[in-house]
Amino acid sequence: MKTIKDMLLKKREDLVREIARRSKASTESGAQDIGDILDSVSEERTRELDMILTDREKRKLAQIDDAIERIEDNTYGLCEDCGVKIPKARLKVLPFAKYCIECQEKTEREEKYTREEPEEGIRKVPVGEVEE
């Protein structure tokens, strides 16, 4: 049986391969193995990555790594806000979901509220830091 972690690792691999193919196409030598770059954490390599990856890819990679990390910490599938278990069905559709539906909706409502009430001169200060 395939676990979510397997699925995430596969997604990561696919993404890395896609990036590697593109970077090989754009750089003549292609000597650098993108897989090595992605596995490396040195600052120099991170800079290289910054040049190669698009924002979308960076975000996706970060999401995947984050989810894998949460699986290893045994916090995967738990809402980061209230701590309840996120339903499996939800995780199937949204494998990177960090919040249960209730908390997600609450966050979205708050965001909407903040957007729809742009009172001049008054800026809403979010309560606590909301990390994406």
Residues that bind Zn ion (CB under 5 A): 79, 81-82, 100, 103
Quote the least distance from Cβ 107 to Zn ion, whole Å.
Answer: 10
DSSP summary character for residue 120: T
Q: Could you tell me the smallest distance in angstroms from the CB atom of residue 126 to Zn ion?
A: 17
Least Å distance between CB 77 and Zn ion?
Answer: 12
Count Cβ atoms within 10 A of the Cβ of residue 19 and give its class: 0-12 exposed, 13-18 middle, 19 or more buried.
buried
Residue 86: Cβ within 10 Å count: 20
Q: Which is nearer to Zn ion, 48 or 110 (CB)?
A: 110
CB closer to Zn ion, 53 vs 77 = 77
Q: Of 18 and 102, which has the nearer Cβ to Zn ion? A: 102
Rounded CA-CA distance 68/38 in Å is 15
